[in-house]
Amino acid sequence: MASQNETVTADEIFKEFKEHSISEFFRKNSQMLGYSGKVRSLTTVVHEYVTNSLDACEEANILPSISVEIKETGEERYSVFVSDNGPGIPKTHMSKALASILTGTKFHRSIQQRGQQGIGASGCTLFSEITTGKPIHVVSRTGKDAFECDVTIDIKGNKSIVTNMTNIPPGQRGLAVRGEFAEIKYENSDHGVLEYLKRTALSNPHAELKLIEPDGNVVVFPRSTDMMPKKPKLIKPHPLGLGTNDLLDYARVSQSRKISSFLVDTFSRVTHDKVNEVKEIAKDVDFGKEPRHMTWDDAEKITKAFKQVKWMSPDMDALSTIGEKQIELAMKNILNPEFMSVIERKPKVYHGGVPFVVEVGIAYGGNAGKQNAGGVSGNILRYANKVPLLFDAGGCAITEAVNTIEWKRYAINMEEEPVSVFVNLSSVYVFYGGVGKQAVAQDDELIEEIRLATMDAARRLERHISNKKNMHLQESRYKTIMRYVSQLSADLEEITGKKHTETEKELKDLIEKKYKSIIADEGEPSEEKPAESADAENE
């Protein structure tokens, strides 16, 4: 070993230079996958399996029925069993689907799904390996195959290991996964498994979810509707938002002979007329040469020209939103509020030509809001592609957008009133703030969209609260006046000679008629106001 003042050569420094597998990286950085706390780690395991089940069922056009069972097997050690009625996993794909990091059916496709990185289920297998040393046991029935096996990961080689493969009798299609995990904890909290499944039921009203808790208690969230969500379709990327490097990546694999035809063939909403508009702006680019010969300078000029051309909105076929009626059904079924307001914005585009849609629902009263020591307060229910985001709220675009709204302007006190603000971002590719996928990256355009939708929903709630207060005021006046009718009738009898019983009846009928008229006017919906901008609110 060299002394403190002795020069060290490059060869000596690079003696320890090694290549590591992605599995090794995540073993040492498991917090990046969401395994950073005992409660959070357990919720992450359930989250990964449940989202995979939901995606699989929807792709197979099956109404999901998912069961989660958690059993305590030791101190901070639990067995997690998740089963579904989905299509199952074929025998030939089992190992890579559940035990190979960055493999899967989602990352390479331009289609909306809950998972998108090819890490989730394999991350659970890795977490079981590093905390208990035990494999994941799997039972799969696809209609053709019916088998069970154990799956684990060769961490150094990022390779899956399948053992004890056994054919079993056929039965109802579906997948069942059982794993044992340590350094985790089950508790009923805002970040626990029960809350996660409750919020999943809110954003997936077509799914039936069942939880068997460690103490044997069974909680069922029945489906609110039998209507399957719209199935998203593969789409071409939209030209708006494409970066220079994105365009070059597409150009390198294009089979088109000319840049002009490449743009039409590869991107959504690009016609030959639109290409001519781009040509007029990017005049120095030779649109007749092959795409693979496109230079960085060419791509930069074309992407800048894209931003100056007026485009049609992105194709909504790629997105599967929850839908206003479905959100209302779910909130009514689970939160049972006295008032609901749901808004869906028009589709927009952000980085890489990726379309997105924001849905916002506000529930007031009933079981809305969050129970705490002081009573009840408002809360934010964050979702990305219908998946609840329970952690990392502080760094999330949804939290930022909702918290910057001046709620007092809408007669709402988020600190003391039962209000739940439900925000769902639907996108082909969600830009998360970390690999743990619990916070949406703070993109300015996205934050603005969430603000606008939330303010629109809040205005409707404001009118409801205002009408409610006015009705209480009118009811108080009505009761006050009615208390003096008898005395007034008796006094009028002395003046007019008319029997006080007749006068009292006439006065009560008159007051009743007037009161009903006022209440009817208060209950009429007021005229819709145009959507406000964030700038208008700040003023």
> What does the H/E/C string look like for 49-106?
HHHHHHHHHHHCCCCCEEEEEEEEEECCEEEEEEEECCCCCCHHHHHHHHHCCCCCCC
Domain annotation covers residue 13: no
Phi, psi of 488 (to 5 degrees): -65, -40
CATH code where residue 125 lies: 3.30.565.10
Q: Can you tell me whether residue 327 is helix, strand or coil? A: helix
What pLDDT is recorded for position 418?
Answer: 94
Residues 78 and 26 in one domain: yes
Of 281, 306, 331, the position where a domain reaches its end is 306
Residues 404 and 442 in one domain: yes
Radius of gyration of the chain (CA): 30
Hunting for tokens 């394999």 — which residue is that? 122
Residue in 130, 103, 120, 95 with CA at minimum distance from that of residue 44: 120
Domain annotation covers residue 69: yes
Facing residues of 341 across strands?
362
From first to last of its 539 residues, the chain has per-residue pLDDT tens of 555 667 767 666 666 655 444 444 544 444 555 567 899 999 999 999 999 999 899 989 999 999 999 999 999 999 999 999 999 999 988 877 886 655 544 443 455 566 544 467 888 888 888 899 899 999 999 988 899 999 998 877 767 889 999 999 998 999 999 999 999 999 999 999 999 999 999 999 999 999 999 999 999 999 999 999 888 777 788 888 788 998 999 999 999 999 999 999 999 899 999 999 999 999 999 999 999 999 999 999 999 999 999 988 777 777 889 999 999 999 999 999 999 999 999 888 776 567 789 999 999 999 999 988 778 999 999 999 999 999 989 889 999 999 999 999 998 999 999 999 999 999 888 888 876 678 999 989 899 999 999 999 999 888 887 766 666 666 666 677 777 777 777 777 778 877 878 777 877 778 777 766 665 665 554 444 444 444 444 43
Angle, CA of 140, 142 and 148, to the nearest 5°:
20
Q: Evaluate whether 140 touches 148 at the Cβ level (below 8 Å).
A: yes
CA distance 189 to 187: 6
Domain annotation covers residue 129: yes
State how many domains the chain has.
4
CATH code where residue 274 lies: 1.10.8
CATH code where residue 414 lies: 3.30.230.10
How far, in Å, are 111, 255, 352 from residue 262 at the CA level? 21, 8, 17
Domain annotation covers residue 292: yes
Domain annotation covers residue 95: yes
Residues 158 and 36 in one domain: yes
Residues 98 and 39 in one domain: yes
CA distance 101 to 122: 6
Residues 296 and 333 in one domain: no
Domain annotation covers residue 1: no
Q: Evaluate whether 265 touches 254 at the Cβ level (below 8 Å).
A: yes
CA distance 112 to 234: 8
Residues 291 and 324 in one domain: no
Residues 368 and 500 in one domain: no
Residues 487 and 526 in one domain: yes
Axis crossing angle, helix 38-59 with helix 193-203, rounded to the nearest 10: 30
Residues 71 and 111 in one domain: yes
Prediction pTM value: 0.76
Of 456, 491, 524, the position where a domain reaches its end is 456
Host domain of residue 265: 244-306
Q: Can you tell me whether residue 310 is helix, strand or coil? A: coil
Residues 197 and 213 in one domain: yes
CA distance 105 to 122: 13
What pLDDT is recorded for position 53?
Answer: 94
Residues 207 and 279 in one domain: no
Residues 183 and 253 in one domain: no
Domain annotation covers residue 17: no
Of 283, 306, 329, the position where a domain reaches its end is 306
Domain annotation covers residue 400: yes
Phi, psi of 205 (to 5 degrees): -65, -15
